[in-house]
Amino acid sequence: VQLQASGGGLVQAGGSLRLSCITSGSGFTMTNMGWYRQAPGRQRDLVATITRGGNTNYADSVKGRFTISRDSAKNTVYLYMNNLKPEDTAVYYCNAGGTDNRGFRRIYWGQGTQVTVSS
């Protein structure tokens, strides 16, 4: 299973970006996908998750500004980021959790995409 994240870039405070994460591969039943971010010198933190059923969860710091969604037909999860702030600057990673053909829990990560918000 491979995850390919894209959509990062440089944006001014108050601006918007849309991140995309395309999954490919077989032998994996995905149950949830998510976005995490890691700023320099800090741990990787949860941003938002979405289950196969469409239930979403957000970090308090992004509630009301970010929206996670998925297009199952395209095997893609999106993160719409509005009203961006300099503290949103980080490398954003997508991940996918689920089970493989033997029923073992698996988590896969994408390569990360840089988001930089200037003040």
Strand duo 113-118 + 90-100: pairing: antiparallel
**CA 119/CA 110 separation, integer angstroms:** 28
**CA 43/CA 26 separation, integer angstroms:** 30
Q: How confident is the model at residue 30 (pLDDT cuts 50, 70, 90)?
A: confident
Q: Which two tokens stand for residue 5?
A: 């994240």
8 A C-beta contact, residue 79 and residue 16:
no
86 phi/psi in degrees, rounded to 5: -55, -30
What pLDDT, in 10s, does the model give residues 5-25?
A: 999 999 999 999 999 999 998
What pLDDT, in 10s, does the model give residues 57-111?
A: 999 999 999 999 999 888 899 999 999 999 999 999 999 999 999 999 999 999 9
Q: How confident is the model at residue 28 (pLDDT cuts 50, 70, 90)?
A: confident
